[in-house]
Amino acid sequence: MTRRRLAVATAMAGALALSACGANEQPQGDAPASAARGGTLRVLTEGQTVNFDPAKSGSLAITSLGLVHRRLTAWHNKPGEQAVVVPDLADTGKTEDGGKTWTFTLQEGLKFNDGTPITAADVKWGVERSFAPAFSGGLGYHKQLLEGGADYRGPFEGAELKGVEAPDARTIRFHLVRPYGDWPWVVSTPAFAPVPKGKGAEPDYAEHPAASGPYQLAKYQKGVEARLTRNPSWDQRTDQVRAGLPDEVVFQLGQDASVVSQRLTADSGDDKSAFGASFVSAAQLAQLANNPSAKQRVVTSESGALAYLALNTAKAPLDNPKVREAFQYAVDKTSFQIASAGAAALAGETATTLITQGIVGREKFDLFPAPPAGDPEKAKQLLAEAGFPNGLQGLDFLVSKTNNGPEKAQSLQASLARAGIQSNIRTLDGDAYTEESSGAPEAKFDLTLASWQPDFPSANANIQPLFASSEIGGGGYNLSRYRDAEVDRLIGEAQATVDPVEAGKKWAALDKRILKDSPIVPLIYTRNSFLRGSKVANMFIADFPAYPNYLQVGLTP
């Protein structure tokens, strides 16, 4: 289990890192001229590295890794349309035993960039390779689900993974330990990209991977750039999710976020055909508001990750559900929005549910109706009923320094203080925060500010990583230490449901069931804003995920 929990945590970190890589068409901006084939697209990235090793990547299906690697399935990603799973290398899978065995058929005529055909054996090899300890760290939803995965250590030690079968060149079959309805989503994660059988043993495979997508990695220099050129073997007709418009895509690495913002605002030279992979900060957005040309080029998502205040349900006084309920009313979501992005429209809508917008089955409800600025009187009353007429003192409020965490936490601290809840903010660096918040089964903190973006567009990925008791400690993201046997059982049932509509209903019921216990206070569905140069076209952000679709971006002539 540990390995999977770690994988989930890394996935989250990966998602956060990714946030630095995209720009999108702004909903309120003018429609840009249409994208044409050709040109060099630049992606200004804060990180020092982009990892093109599918086994080690936490990249979403629509961002950087997707330019180079195809997976078995892909995401239908269009603004205003719900995310659904679509064929990529293979079809979207069939199951005949209620979700325990899944069979996928690969398309004909697929080739790697060196011209060798892509076979089911290469996909199987890629999956097996992700189990090797040397190549861990990527999204790992499959690792505990595949039969024999729990103690498998990769193909380089000679053994094959029992749970994956490649009976012929175009058929791949997965045997799972339990029925799992979201398996077609899981095979859209990076580990299901093909790696030529027998290859990829070297640690620097990430710098010369075999490409199946429209681009191949031509040059990689850590901290400087990653240059992608066209993959001659990629056939547009076999690929419905990648447009492959620019001739080259260059990731400029190690760029300072505020410098990126200044360069893209100035919009001169090569920067015209560039976009920033980092979120535009509140201060930068305020600056852009006075610049009509740049303002048009800000691309803001409609929705995004759920930002929430996690309450440690395993520690007094927050082990009392009534006390936790008081937090639902005490929090001022308006001031949190302003602290996040300066204005509600840029920060994202206030959240009242666990399942995020754009996910199949989501039901909108509000168990704790209060004005957006909160209801401190009601909170005080609830605290008094719970036996704390004088409020709560000295709560430990753990905050990560990344992503303006301290500023956002202060707005919560101030709003809690109105209801007589006094807390002390304790800020930690990113890694130390991850260690303390998710490392140990028992946590010292009372409150912590967190954010969760599902790794694939299913309510399962909204709920299970945050509230299943198996995700407590060891890198799991159940920060509230929420433990409820009935909820665990219901999660298992919903996961085993193959029909998406029926599963959606079960997840929606779970959403209410969990929130009734108030393990977290949902704050907002965080909007992300990106900035693009004037020649970058066709950059959009769909409802899920809140990142631009790199696969469709092009340049105007």
Closer CB to another protein, residue 287 or residue 470? Answer: 287
Closer CB to another protein, residue 238 or residue 410? Answer: 410
Least distance (Å) between residue 285 CB and another protein = 7
The single residue listed with the structure tokens 């919903």 is: 494
- Residue from the set 178, 401, 489, 512 that interacts with another protein by CB under 8 A: 401
- Residue from the set 160, 165, 248, 396 that interacts with another protein by CB under 8 A: 396
- Residue from the set 385, 429, 442, 499 that interacts with another protein by CB under 8 A: 429
At 395, the amino acid letter reads: L
Least distance (Å) between residue 282 CB and another protein = 6
Q: Does 259 engage in binding with another protein (CB under 8 A)?
A: no
SS3 108: coil
- 475 contacts 438 by C-beta, under 8 angstroms: yes
Closer CB to another protein, residue 60 or residue 428? Answer: 428
Nearest CA to 62 out of 227, 190, 225 is that of 190
Rounded CA separation 240/71 (Å): 13
Provide the token pair at 56. 């080690």
- 483 contacts 314 by C-beta, under 8 angstroms: yes
Q: Does 281 engage in binding with another protein (CB under 8 A)?
A: yes
Please tell me whether the peptide bond between 372 and the residue prior to it is cis, using omega within 30 degrees of 0. no
- 55 contacts 191 by C-beta, under 8 angstroms: yes
Q: Does 424 engage in binding with another protein (CB under 8 A)?
A: yes
The single residue listed with the structure tokens 């407590």 is: 472
Contacts with another protein, 315-334, as mask; x by CB under 8 A: -----------------x-x
Number of residues that bind another protein (CB under 8 A): 37
Phi, psi of 279 (to 5 degrees): -65, 145
- Residue from the set 55, 186, 330, 339 that interacts with another protein by CB under 8 A: 339
Provide the token pair at 71. 């997976």
Q: Does 341 engage in binding with another protein (CB under 8 A)?
A: yes
Provide the token pair at 207. 């710098």
Rounded CA separation 426/397 (Å): 6
Nearest CA to 304 out of 9, 18, 502 is that of 18
Rounded CA separation 41/247 (Å): 8
Stretch that binds another protein, among 31-39, 96-104, 286-294, 547-555 (CB under 8 A): 286-294
Q: Which residues pair with 540 in a beta bridge?
A: 25
Q: Does 113 engage in binding with another protein (CB under 8 A)?
A: no
Beta strand residue intervals within 315-453, DSSP E = 392-400, 421-428, 447-452
Largest CA distance in the chain: 73
Least distance (Å) between residue 482 CB and another protein = 23
Closer CB to another protein, residue 288 or residue 546? Answer: 288
Stretch that binds another protein, among 218-226, 424-432, 474-482, 506-514 (CB under 8 A): 424-432
Q: Does 342 engage in binding with another protein (CB under 8 A)?
A: yes
Closer CB to another protein, residue 28 or residue 236? Answer: 28
- Residue from the set 41, 226, 428, 494 that interacts with another protein by CB under 8 A: 428
Q: Does 282 engage in binding with another protein (CB under 8 A)?
A: yes
Q: Does 411 engage in binding with another protein (CB under 8 A)?
A: yes
491's enclosing H/E stretch is: helix 485-495
Q: Does 285 engage in binding with another protein (CB under 8 A)?
A: yes
Within 10 Å of residue 208's Cβ, how many Cβ atoms? Answer: 14
Least distance (Å) between residue 198 CB and another protein = 45
Q: Does 150 engage in binding with another protein (CB under 8 A)?
A: no
Rounded CA separation 550/533 (Å): 15
The number of residues in the chain equals 557
Least distance (Å) between residue 262 CB and another protein = 9
- 124 contacts 215 by C-beta, under 8 angstroms: no
Stretch that binds another protein, among 147-155, 212-220, 412-420, 542-550 (CB under 8 A): 412-420
Give Rg (Cα) of the chain. Answer: 23
Q: Does 343 engage in binding with another protein (CB under 8 A)?
A: yes
Q: Does 443 engage in binding with another protein (CB under 8 A)?
A: no
**Which residues of this protein are in contact with another protein, per CB under 8 A?**
258, 281-287, 289-290, 332, 334-335, 338-339, 341-343, 345, 396, 401, 406-407, 409-411, 413-415, 417, 424-429, 432
